[in-house]
Amino acid sequence: MTKLTAFSGIQPSGDLTLGNYIGAIRQWVKIQYDYRCIYCIVDLHAITMCQNATQLGKRSLDVLALLLSCGLDPDNVIIFIQSHVPQHVQLSWLLSCYSYFGELRRMTQFKDKSTNFLNNSNNINVGLFNYPILMASDILLYQTSLVPIGDDQKQHLELSRRIADRFNSLYGRIFTVPDFYVPKFGSRIMSLLEPCKKMSKSDFNQKNVIFLLEDIDSVVNKLNCSITDSDDPPVISYDKINKPGISNLLSILSGLSEVGIYDLELSFKGKKYIQLKNKIIELVTYKLKKLQKRYFLLRREEDYLYEILSRGAEKARSEADVTLSKVYDVIGLLKSNTGFKY
Ligand code: TYM
């Protein structure tokens, strides 16, 4: 039986966090043998925010090595760099002619990120606005059925579905309309000190964030200082509104242990917050030590990393061509008489 396709992407725009791992990468690894998985390091998305030119390429290799260290099997999944497959940008232009200004303007990520531009609306780059169309192109090029993502990307995926539906209703069934795959718990890991906002690699306060390659003592210190609450006696229960700190810690533990929140609540009944933190510290340090050990070995193997990327991009290009060719046809663009070559 042929496997359905799963696709997802990650930006090489900074050091990856525990949020990236629990919300996304962990799912990528989990489904890698059940789906035909295609994973993309989205460097073109990353440049919608200012990037250091000497760091960007290096960071793409860092991300690849990290993904492998987390357990992705490069002989089984396709992994590549977005800018190595020009069809993503080509489809993005075409789909932008089938997307509406109004729907892009409503994207919360655009609204959040554009406020970083010191409220000067003249300085907001158009790439940031068009970002979700490139993301739709990433997904739709490969006839993707499933997109494993964290909660913050759900709105973008809904837009991708809408664009696919709109295009299909005009031209027939050109694109598979994808579903998202968001973990029940851990789809939005929050900041350690401000558990009402998402854990993000670009957080100004680094004490809010655990990085996958962070020094273990520093990780332990951050977890020890994480916010709980002042209930007396302490109650370890999941309640995002009234107990955001404890709920976040439970989500982290659930994400790392794969034990459901309900079972965790039962096992921590009557226990103290410090016992919950200690359990998380034990698990996080175990996972990160293992991951970091693999990472530092793999990261040195640059030839091997480049080989994976070139294999991945070659496969991706040939698959992407099939969809792009159909799109050119139905729109009515003239192909050259030597076939579908650009
Ligand atoms: P990015 O690079 O911001 O994040 C990569 C993945 O990590 C998830 N994530 C989180 N999950 C839980 N808690 C958190 N605190 C947390 N922080 C990040 C994100 O939801 C994401 O799944 N636009 C995407 C990249 C992209 C993409 C795609 C994804 C480009 N094209 C096509 C899927 C399909 C992004 O910026 O992810």
Is the confidence at residue 342, as pLDDT, over 70? no
Q: Which long-range contacts (CB under 8 A, 24 or more apart) does 118-125 make?
A: 125/48
Residue 336 lies in a domain: no
Based on the fold, state whether residues 293 and 305 are members of the same structural domain: no
Residue located nearest, by CA, to atom 27 of ligand 1: 9
Q: What is the pLDDT of residue 120?
A: 57
Assess whether 32 and 132 both reside in one domain: yes
219 CA → ligand 1 middle, Å? 22
Distance 25 CA to ligand 1 centre (A): 9
Bridge partners (DSSP) of residue 148 are 181
- The answer on pLDDT for 119 being more than 60 is no
For residue 45, give the nearest of 18, 63, 32 by alpha carbon: 63
The pLDDT mean for the chain works out to 95
* pLDDT digits 0-9 by tens, 125-143: 999 999 999 999 999 999 9
Identify whether 184 is a catalytic site residue. no
Share of the chain above pLDDT 90, in %: 88
pLDDT of residue 288: 98
For residue 87, CA distances in Å to 130, 183, 236, 318, 320 come to: 16, 30, 49, 10, 6
Residue 338 lies in a domain: no
The number of folded domains in the chain is: 2
**Tens of pLDDT along 19-60?**
999 999 999 999 999 999 999 999 999 999 989 999 999 999
Give yes or no: residues 14 and 123 share one domain. Answer: yes
Structure confidence at residue 237 as a pLDDT band (50, 70, 90): very high
Residue 163 sits in the same domain as residue 293: no
Q: With beta carbons less than 8 A apart as the criterion, state whether 85 and 321 touch.
A: no
In a domain, 274, yes or no: yes
**HSE-up of residue 42 (Cα within 13 Å, Cβ side):** 21
Range of the domain at 136: 5-183+301-331
Query: φ, ψ for residue 145 (rounded to 5)?
Result: -95, -35
| Dist. CA 100–CA 90, nearest whole Å | 18
> CATH code at 129?
3.40.50.620
Of 152, 161, 176, 226, best ligand 1 pocket probe by most atoms within 8 Å of the beta carbon: 152
Q: Does residue 3 have an active-site annotation?
A: no
My answer on whether 227 and 325 are in the same domain is: no
Structure tokens at 129: 């606005």
Tokens found for residue 132: 């979700």
pTM reported for the whole predicted model: 0.96
Say whether pLDDT at 340 is over 80. Answer: no
Q: Could you tell me which of 277, 233, 218, 224 has the C-alpha nearest to residue 253?
A: 277
